[in-house]
Chain A
């Protein structure tokens, strides 16, 4: 009797899920897939919030104009918790239940590579944020990368650094032992040697490390002049800086990825963070336009606090919207993908309105890598200040 009850409950349950209503007309669904909770949520939430803000902007004008129709943008979000299995479940849901044709998301390489076998045969355009080279290659014709990787950033950065400090050549790479960390390490290796630096050590640390004295002691034994924290997270970077300075390091510190400068500075302490270089979004007054100020204000109002990552995530939903409009269709993703590769826009957020577009055919196989202005930021008197705006260059 009890078994029968359970059996019928199960039946109801399954049928219940299956019977969810389908969507109405004139709506354009955009999927968002990424870590919304958990330690990686810093990146997932920035991406989600940018898409949401764009959708609101567009809908406030009646919708996205494609040919003669206006489409209301509806975002559907799935939380991956930075886990590949959850990413797969989320992608399945977005592609097969919600029937989206565009997914902005996947932040980790493991997420992206797990999801691509689902999105590619379904011809769903995936705008990933992972750094893996193959994820946007010719074998995945519907996938694009929404942000520049360390690869795009390191070459101009090391060139600039070398010009400023020509006598400092000994470099140590500090690597966080996770997929994204290893990718950035490899990208850094390529760029540093080309930039004229000598790698005297590569030290790896475990993701759950809370105390960096031991590893910093080991790093300092190499007597470095430049310390590159590659893809270390904000909190880790802060602690690495603190350990370095407390153990007597007086050289240059930098990293080729974006993080949250607020976290870095507050965790390291103002004195310890002084002089640290990293990739920024260009949100300080030196390079930011008025529109950037307005964007920051709006973002802070809606979500409670500013997330520097958002200044880069700003562009991708807009680029996708432009491509849809230019292609004149909301579901012929073959056409849209082709158009997207050639789509570009002027950045309203940075002074001088530099161009944001897709490139990378020689290195990646397609023009699927977004190129945008990269701000080289340095901590000066406890504040992040843009010291240079670099052009993304490929090691073609």
Chain B
């Protein structure tokens, strides 16, 4: 097939891959620290998207400032959720999972009542597209790529250099040892959960101009996040990037070469195989 088409497929893979990485960061973080699978991750992502819809599209606040505001709001929400709900069930894997499920249902139901059922779009902050040797990139996607990379870098530095970040990493690796070292589990769980939710909301806000927003965008988002998390590995930021790129490639090339919609079936089968063969994912830490 034509080299230009192939190049476009590769470009699509990278763009999609980073988008999925973005979505998956929050859920990976929360799972690493608290061993909670947060099913409500998708709905929090959706709330972040709505936050941008109101701040940026309806109230015409500058896009970057809207992002910061949205991130702050969602972080507060995440903190509240951990404090009032998840803390009561700390350590119980299954009830936490079910609680997050109930939360997902609740948030989606509330969003439907408050925001209505229509799909709504947001004007792109940077319209247009770029053409590089026949390969096209939407400007909004380039923006996503840049912002994702900055975010990834910021997160990486935070985890490595800052005390709070290192505390979170310690908790993820070994909660008992971390406590012995003086890490306050309560505060760190609360903080970590809040950051995880913030990342979810932020990814929602970043992606609204590329996609659209409605109360129902949460479900598909959290499923993609799972796939990335499982493939790439838990507790690893580079792993999440890898997982995202793999999923992006499967979708991009799958759509290109396979009839109908087999691409997603393959993605799921890969997840199944990955868990069977290497549960911690390609780059996960055990």
Contact = CB atoms under 8 A, between A and B. Distances in A.
Same complex: yes
B116 A234 contact: no
Contacts of B118: 42, 234, 260, 262-263, 305, 307
Of listed B5, B131, B219, B251, residue having the most chain A CB within 10 A = B251
Contact of B216 (A39, A45, A217, A263): A39
A239 B56 CA distance: 19
A4 to B, nearest CB: 29
B181 interface: no
Interface in A177-219: 177, 204-206, 208, 210-211, 213-215, 217-218
A218 B220 contact: no
A267 B118 CA distance: 12
B12 A214 contact: yes
A245 interface: yes
Given A210-B220, A213-B16, A217-B256, A234 B119 contact: yes
A250 to B, nearest CB: 12
A246 B136 contact: yes
Nearest to B138: A246
Interface stretch (B84-92, B121-129, B164-172, B278-286): B121-129
Given A42-B118, A304-B116, A214 B9 contact: yes
A211 B16 contact: yes
Contact of B117 (A42, A208, A246): A42
Contacts of A235: 119, 121, 211-212, 214
Contacts of A214: 9, 12, 16, 251-256, 263
A307 B119 CA distance: 12
Tell me what chain B mostly uses at the interface: helix, strand, loop, or mixed.
mixed
A248 B256 contact: no
Contacts of B121: 235, 238, 263, 265-269
Tell me what chain A mostly uses at the interface: helix, strand, loop, or mixed.
helix
A253 interface: no
A134 interface: no
B136 A208 contact: no
Of listed A213, A234, A238, residue having the most chain B CB within 10 A = A213
A271 interface: yes
A41 interface: yes
Of listed A205, A233, A266, residue having the most chain B CB within 10 A = A266
Chain A interface residue bracket vs B? 35 or more
A247 B123 contact: no
B80 interface: no
A233 B216 CA distance: 14
A307 B221 CA distance: 27
B252 A213 contact: yes
Contacts of B136: 246-248
Nearest to B258: A218
Nearest to B130: A246
A290 interface: no
A39 B260 CA distance: 23
Given A239-B212, A266-B120, A267-B121, A213 B129 contact: no
Given A204-B261, A266-B122, A210 B211 contact: yes
A37 B261 contact: no
Contacts of A245: 129
Contacts of B221: 210
Interface residues of B, number: 43
B8 interface: yes
A38 interface: yes
A267 B117 contact: no
A385 interface: no
Contacts of B137: 246
A242 interface: yes
A127 to B, nearest CB: 22
B9 A217 contact: yes
Nearest to B262: A206
Of listed B122, B212, B251, residue having the most chain A CB within 10 A = B212
Given A239-B212, A246-B136, A269-B127, A217 B120 contact: no
B105 to A, nearest CB: 12
B231 interface: no
Contact of A269 (B120, B124, B220): B124
A238 B8 CA distance: 21
A20 interface: no
B230 interface: no
Interface string B239-254: 0000000000001111
Nearest to B250: A214
Contact of A267 (B9, B119, B263): B119
B261 to A, nearest CB: 4
A37 B263 CA distance: 29
Of listed B112, B123, B129, residue having the most chain A CB within 10 A = B129
A243 B123 CA distance: 15
B212 A267 contact: yes
A245 B116 CA distance: 29
A4 B254 CA distance: 57
Contact of B261 (A177, A265, A270): A177
Contacts of B117: 37-39, 41-42, 45
Contacts of A213: 12, 15-16, 252
B123 to A, nearest CB: 6
A19 interface: no
Nearest to B117: A41
A205 B261 contact: yes
Interface string B86-112: 000000000000000000000000001
Given A213-B16, A305-B116, A221 B252 contact: no
5 contacts: A39-B216, A235-B212, A263-B120, A266-B121, A267-B211
Given A206-B263, A246-B138, 6 more contacts: A37-B112, A39-B214, A208-B220, A208-B264, A213-B12, A221-B5
The 10 closest A-B pairs by CB, nearest first: A267-B121, A266-B121, A235-B119, A214-B255, A206-B261, A246-B129, A41-B117, A246-B138, A208-B220, A213-B12
